[in-house]
Structures are given as C-alpha cells and as structure tokens.
Amino acid sequence: MTLPRIRFDAGRATEPLSGFSSEPHELWVEVGFGGGEHAEALAATHPWAALIACEVFENGLCSMLGRLVPEDAEDTAPLPENLRLWDDDARDLLRMLPDASVARLFLMFPDPWPKLRHLKRRFVHPALLPELARIVRPGGLWRIASDDPTYQAWVTEVLAGQNFFDVPPPATERPDGWPPTRYEAKALKAGRAPLYWELTRATAAR
C-alpha cells in the first residue's frame, strides 16, 4: 500500500526534517489538502522544501494517492522525496512540532463549518492562533484562501483581533505562485469570489 510508505512518522515530529529522504532546507505544512493537486504542485515545484500535507477524509487521501502512483504499482512506484502525508487531525501534528519550525503554512478553501455549533472546528480560530504563532517562524508565511462569504467574514474578524501575524488586505485574484485547486475552479464556475490572504508571522515580540 502507498499510504504507509509516504505517511509522516509522528516519532519524527520533534525533528521534522529528519522524516524526509531528501535533504530539505525548510518545512511547509498544508492543512486539509482536499484532492491533493495543490500539495502535489507545491512539492513538485519546490524540491528544496519538505511538505507535510494533512487530510483526514478518505476521499481526499485516495485522490492524492491516485495522483502519485499508478493503480497497479502502489507498493513499488517512486514517491516524492519531499512530500509526506498526515492522515489524522492536523492540530495534533502541529502541537508536536517545535517552535518556529514551519516556514510556510497553507489553508486552501477549507470547509466553512457554517453551523454555529461547529464554529470550534474552524481552523482559523482565536483559540488556535497562539499555537500557530508558536510553530510558524518569524517572517514565515501563512496562506489562506476561501470562496465562502461567511468564512471570509469570519477570517477577517479573527485576524483583526490578533497581533501574531501581519495581515495585508486579501487579494481578489489568485496571486502568482499559488497553485490552483479544483475547489477554486468550482467556485469561480459557480460565480463565487475567492479571497486570498498571505499573512506574515510578526518578527517583533508580541
């Protein structure tokens, strides 16, 4: 099977770069990779970065694994040396990572969890921001994209109430260097307007 071959070893979390067969220069993390096209593109175009791509849903995992290996070569096909998958709650991984260990964090078109009782499941959440600020190194980037108006308003509100990250106004078109996703294509086809944030971890003491 492919997943055991590419799953990130939790035992390596305290020294995450040691969990890769390549010799990466820095660590990137994507939370909720969906169909996997964004994470696959990042790994292919940035071979010097180690990427841990997180996804708990089976459909997303199957989609990613299908992108990486032919159906009849799950046990033998070569895998990207700089890509590892985390198939559990991303928050559990983040809590294990060392301080200032993540150079880039990605959250592309997350589930908006629109019901009030589900608000605590949103990854952009005041309670989680201190943990994200702990692991993202000073000057590191956090990219967020969403096409959902409710989630867009939530992100705007949450980011306005913190001082861990510098937050310029979001872009209304996908910036250069951001790989496209099928969720984005679906949103644009339906007439929804995505927003794209690129936050920078503040370098001054906060």
Is there a contact between 108 and 39 (Cβ–Cβ < 8 Å)? no
For the chain, the residue count is 206
As annotated, the active-site residues are 111
Strand order of the β-sheet with 165-166 is 83-86, 49-54, 26-31, 102-108, 136-146, 195-201, 165-166
Q: What is the DSSP string of 89-117?
A: -HHHHHHHSPTT-EEEEEEES-----SGG
- Name residue, tokens 């692991």: 135
